[in-house]
Structure 1
């Protein structure tokens, strides 16, 4: 169905802001962000004009994967505060008209979760089948190379199976060995998850961002057994092979809808992280008639600069590929479903360093990228610091990194000996998840106003001039531009609901499209280069809606010449 002004859900006009709690604001000087720190910054969020705050995991956790390894779903980790602190934050956000979305991580738990501790205790444990336990391959001794039950690879390098010496069997972990996968084939697992979700909704949260939700159904044969996937390089299958979009995935999501969300759906936001999902998958996930999710995060556009060696082997972006990818998702979800729009999040390097120019044209390229993204049809997601034009970390030593994915990659690459240390550090500098996790830059003071102690991850050096205090005082800043973009989405029905049409698909440097609703239409232009670019856009474009340079370009004789990294939004005359 195509949403209209009368029936469009509230989230079609909303902006979501992601908080990565470790790096947002520290209140007690221990160098780690916390909930009392969030309380200090709620007015920043209200001023910015966001409608929803999504919290990356706050739950009790050993922090092997910075909170995505959960040992207690119904408690707050002491590093962040208490449940009462969270209640106070939720109340403060609600008082400002901002909804709260929690990260839901139910493909796996921590190996320190009581469910797994009991499951691991013996082969006969009542919770043994809550996780994926399997013996070694027939005829092979446990622990010998290749004895793992299948050839599945972990997203964090190496096999996706870990041998438990005590019981002699392997357990499945698609991520860290300390993140064992739950067995969703077991109805007791599903009911325990649904009960936890209902508990959070009863406590006042307004929805969930569902971590790797399309991995919860594994591909099993008629006997419920896992089997090898087509192998990639070497013995292991490519990451996700055999574990993505399993046959019962939609059944589980529809069951979740019935068991958790029935009767209280209208005010909630449900977004799924779905690595490997296609446009056709997304239509199924986000079709309102199916009762699954509101929207999903696609990964296609953030994989376009991955080279033959993966994300740590980046290649220059071809803008034509980016336009084609984004347009395909816009067209595919134009009539049924909805798009989730993002450049940055806790797993992606900073967009201004990735697709923009984080040097001389940092402000221009950051605001251009923001304009192009936010003017697409869908719900935009802003990651903390993105509204400031924060850049990649600029780390030059492996000792600066904390991220488990980056450290595992460095270990494996060095062991394989196929890259030099110089190449390794260049790959990490471009693509490490730690680029997104440096502390938010609030002011020019020590540690950027994030903490009075030693930050858990070094602050980016440019905080002396890239910070919220300085940008709040500058009407031309990245921060003010984001505020204007949010106001535009709230006020302009074309931005909220208009159809999308790509223009100039073959132009190597200009991103151009229109949004149209009835007789009203907008032209959106972005120059993805540090040189002037001319674009043929036709006549009939008049009123300046939004620009990011002091003297915005104008359309003359059907053409426009954009200055370096210029963004331009015009209304049909």
Structure 2
């Protein structure tokens, strides 16, 4: 058996941050609950379900964008940062939501999308009006590549690939230049090199905090600083545009920008706000810097290493089998790397990832057991756990009937490019899209077994999973052995046991192909966490037979006389220094 690796952190850091014992719940509003029957979730629907969230026991609600938007990318294309899109309600509705959450002891974190705006934002409208516009430099504008016909392939200022297919440049005929968009062409990137842009963003953030918001989850925040040269990236074999991200991932001024943001927005405010940075392609070494409290940048980052492990050659449209040893190596490395400085965010899924139980568990015969096992293993790591709406019910991926049932711009663009552009078989393209596409997470929350799963009295904007007749909140909220009830127990344990919030982390059995095992320790208290990531029974030897006599704190089967695990079994045992 490999020697266990123990992760330590200074005693002075223990318990000093409120979010160590907090659990965050993400709401994707258009799919959460619809209060007016138009088929789209809204703020009224969230308000109507506040008691549900309070019963679950979460501490923070992260609300995906509800700002005014043309909805090209479901709200991540913002045309007015200081208003609510009528699709979701009004500012008065948001005020009511903030008050309702605060009354129940919960916080509200807003999604902050300031790498880019909508092309319908007044800032961009003014920027594209002419080359002499005072806001021209608020975005990235460049002339065509010399020697190429403007507006034709190859004339783009550089060879970067968009996340949503094609190049990152869109030609504007009126001014004869291209603008940069890392995502949709309707999402032009803001130029953070311009101090006026930064001042406008900080003023907007302060406006929301003054309104009662408790922090921000910052979308692709490590893309804010680009290499001003905007030079070509290394070519990607077989692709016309390069998928190398070195020109904008954690660019040269990113730490400077985030430290400035802290000074201008957060430094003078009362403690208790949350600053979370979504950071695709972030390295562990950079994450330590971003989340070191002494540097005053962020509280935690979302990293993507563990959710990219089942992408063949880094391509999500080429899904592969996940090896548990790779998952343990990845998560264990982050536990170790952020032990002395910084903090982890813990998640299996969100609005950009497929359903956790379908991806990492067994969404068939062992759905409830594997959903509980995944929750137990994740929540007992060191870090702040995030629950994506419906995960607490064990919601699964959707078997979409065809491309017409999809709504995600990323899926639609890829399908069009793969079938029309590359001539691939549509059936094969759909099969490749199925496991990991974002629409899996965006089907409506399944509240009951009735029409539209209780999500809406109208026709939902995206199809409802037909398994809602078996998987729904009405069936689970009051059932003691449900997935929902298991999540409630996990949340309560994090609140009650300091060893979960602040204990050391020791990875066990790193080379075992089916069992995830680790210990947490704080003072005299020690936890042993075991999870079977397979449908086969597993014999387990953690090198310490004394654990078999420790108290069973939580499990997903009734009774557990030994350390051996049944299919998809999870156990957590507690002992103290005196063996009790």
For residues 287-327 of structure 1, the C-alpha deviation after alignment (integer angstroms, 9 at most, x for no partner) is 00000000000100000011137112111110000000000
In 1, distance between residues paired with 2:425 and 2:314? 14
The equivalences for 1:37-76 within 5 A come to 37-76=45-84
In 1, distance between residues paired with 2:425 and 2:535? 31
Name the structure 2 match of 1:120. 128
Q: Is the 8 A contact 1:3 1:497 kept in 2?
A: no
Deviation, structure 1 residue 423: 2.0
Deviation, structure 1 residue 138: 1.3
CA RMSD of aligned residues (A): 1.2
Q: Pick the aligned partner of 1:263 from 264, 268, 276.
A: 268
Name the structure 2 match of 1:292. 297
Q: Is the 8 A contact 2:140 2:189 kept in 1?
A: yes
Q: Is the 8 A contact 2:234 2:244 kept in 1?
A: no
Name the structure 2 match of 1:432. 437
Name the structure 2 match of 1:23. 31
Q: Pick the aligned partner of 2:570 from 556, 562, 567.
A: 567
Name the structure 1 match of 2:4. none
Deviation, structure 1 residue 349: 0.1
In 1, distance between residues paired with 2:288 and 2:313? 30
Deviation, structure 1 residue 144: 1.8
In 2, distance between residues paired with 1:145 and 1:173? 16
Structure 1: where are the runs of 5+ without partners? none
In 2, distance between residues paired with 1:193 and 1:5? 32
Name the structure 2 match of 1:374. 379
Residues 1:161 and 2:169 aligned together: yes
Q: Is the 8 A contact 1:286 1:337 kept in 2?
A: yes
Secondary structure of 2:474's match? Answer: helix
Structure 1 residues 154, 363: CA separation in 2 closer, same or farther (over 3 Å shift)? same
Residues 1:495 and 2:500 aligned together: yes
Secondary structure of 2:116's match? Answer: coil
Name the structure 1 match of 2:3. none
In 2, distance between residues paired with 1:5 and 1:546? 27
Q: Pick the aligned partner of 1:199 from 197, 207, 216.
A: 207
Q: Is the 8 A contact 2:15 2:502 kept in 1?
A: no
Q: Is the 8 A contact 2:15 2:501 kept in 1?
A: no
Deviation, structure 1 residue 243: 1.4
Structure 1 residues 41, 239: CA separation in 2 closer, same or farther (over 3 Å shift)? farther
Structure 2: where are the runs of 5+ without partners? 1-8
Residues 1:386 and 2:391 aligned together: yes
In 1, distance between residues paired with 2:380 and 2:76? 31
Structure 1 residues 485, 266: CA separation in 2 closer, same or farther (over 3 Å shift)? same
Q: Is the 8 A contact 1:515 1:523 kept in 2?
A: yes
Deviation, structure 1 residue 246: 0.4
Q: Pick the aligned partner of 2:402 from 397, 402, 405.
A: 397
Q: Is the 8 A contact 2:14 2:502 kept in 1?
A: no
In 1, distance between residues paired with 2:15 and 2:107? 20
Q: Is the 8 A contact 1:443 1:464 kept in 2?
A: yes
For residues 357-406 of structure 1, the C-alpha deviation after alignment (integer angstroms, 9 at most, x for no partner) is 00100000000000000000000000100000000011121111000001
Q: With structure 1 as the length reference, what TM-score do the two structures score?
A: 0.97
Secondary structure of 2:231's match? Answer: coil
In 1, distance between residues paired with 2:152 and 2:231? 19
Deviation, structure 1 residue 239: 5.3
In 2, distance between residues paired with 1:409 and 1:239? 18
The equivalences for 1:300-315 within 5 A come to 300-308=305-313, 310-315=315-320
For residues 454-505 of structure 1, the C-alpha deviation after alignment (integer angstroms, 9 at most, x for no partner) is 0000000100010000011321110000000000000011101011111001
Residues 1:230 and 2:238 aligned together: no
Name the structure 1 match of 2:5. none
The equivalences for 1:310-459 within 5 A come to 310-417=315-422, 419-459=424-464
Deviation, structure 1 residue 82: 0.2
Secondary structure of 2:554's match? Answer: strand
The equivalences for 1:497-512 within 5 A come to 497-512=502-517
Deviation, structure 1 residue 268: 0.3
For residues 63-83 of structure 1, the C-alpha deviation after alignment (integer angstroms, 9 at most, x for no partner) is 000000000000000000000
The equivalences for 1:472-487 within 5 A come to 472-487=477-492
Name the structure 2 match of 1:94. 102
Deviation, structure 1 residue 265: 5.1
Q: Is the 8 A contact 2:446 2:453 kept in 1?
A: yes
Comparing 3-12 with 68-77, greater Cα deviation is found at 3-12
Secondary structure of 1:327's match? Answer: helix
Secondary structure of 1:170's match? Answer: strand
In 2, distance between residues paired with 1:420 and 1:376? 42
